[in-house]
């Protein structure tokens, strides 16, 4: 988080970055030490100070890095992020990070902003809050009103559909939601994701189930 530091503090790192030495005693960094500086973009609404030209040239090359949706999903599954959030963001990737789409003034007044970090916090909320009104308020405070409302609607729909494992165990008897297109659509999306994830396990029973869909 180098660009959170005051300019004077940034200047104190010049020697370590360029000469690989630290302090008046000039302690030398070992050959197996690599210096990498990280920081958020100022334009994204974070508290970030501009780097001086001297710092910019010492740190070249500069690389913009952001995890892809697939990379985030892989992390989220390993971190036990609530499956509703993982499934929802796979269908709505545009809301995984909305901070760059929010104006500076709106960003200052926002109760919550959808980012990879706040979606993980929303996961903890979904797991722990049972009261619907409190759940909506808490989610809004984490990811913002629009994403929170859509997630809740999606979450309530998911409660009515069987899991892909339940369908795989009973493909000829699981409900097909002929009169509930929202649920039917959600089931189809879950089936697609399951077959992509593990075709050997899910393809045959889920094809049998799909043959029954209206």
SS3 sequence of the chain: CHHHCCHHHHHCCHHHHHCCEECCCCEECCCCCCCCCCCCCHHHCCCCCCCCHHHHHHHCCCCCCCCCHHHHHHHHHHCCCCHHHHHHHHHCHHHCCCHHHCCHHHHHHCCCCCCHHHHHHHHHHHHHCCCHHHHHHHHHHHHCHHHHHHHHHHHHHHCCCCCHHHHHHCCCCCCCCCCCHHHHHHHHHHHHHHHHHCHHHHHHHHHHHHCCCC
Asked whether 34 and 74 are in contact (CB, 8 A), the reply is no
* Span of 12-21, 171-180, 200-209 with lowest mean pLDDT: 12-21
Q: According to the model, what pLDDT value does residue 2 have?
A: 86
How many other CB atoms sit within 10 Å of the CB of residue 134?
11
Condensed to tens digits (0 to 9), the pLDDT of residues 110-156 reads 678 898 999 999 999 999 998 989 999 999 999 998 899 999 988 88
pTM across the whole model: 0.66
> Residue 25: pLDDT above 80?
no
Q: How far apart are CA 141 and CA 180, in angstroms?
A: 31
For residue 61, whether the previous peptide bond is cis, meaning omega lies within 30 degrees of 0, is yes
The angle at the Cα of 23, spanning 19 to 28, to the nearest 5 degrees, equals: 50
Condensed to tens digits (0 to 9), the pLDDT of residues 43-84 reads 655 677 778 888 888 888 888 888 889 999 889 888 888 888
Name residue 21's beta-bridge partners: 28
Reported as a pLDDT band with limits 50, 70 and 90, residue 32 is very high
């Amino acid at each position: 988080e180098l660009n959170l530091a005051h300019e004077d503090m940034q200047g104190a790192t010049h020697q370590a970055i360029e000469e690989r030495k630290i302090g008046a005693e000039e302690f030398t960094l070992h050959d197996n030490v690599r210096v990498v500086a990280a920081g958020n973009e100022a334009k994204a609404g974070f508290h970030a100070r501009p780097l001086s030209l001297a710092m910019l040239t010492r740190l070249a090359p500069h690389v913009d890095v952001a995890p892809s949706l697939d990379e985030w999903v892989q992390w989220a599954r390993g971190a036990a992020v609530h499956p509703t959030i993982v499934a929802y963001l796979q269908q709505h990737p545009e809301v995984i990070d909305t901070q760059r789409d929010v104006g500076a003034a709106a960003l200052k007044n926002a109760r919550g902003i959808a980012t990879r970090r706040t979606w993980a916090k929303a996961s903890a909320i979904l797991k722990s809050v049972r009261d619907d009104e409190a759940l909506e308020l808490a989610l809004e405070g984490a990811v913002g009103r629009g994403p929170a409302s859509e997630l809740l609607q999606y979450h309530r729909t998911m409660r009515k559909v069987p899991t892909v494992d339940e369908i795989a165990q009973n493909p000829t008897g699981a409900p097909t939601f002929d009169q509930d297109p929202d649920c039917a659509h959600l089931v189809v999306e879950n089936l697609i994701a399951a077959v992509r994830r593990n075709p050997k396990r899910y393809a045959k029973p889920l094809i049998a189930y799909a043959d029954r869909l209206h």
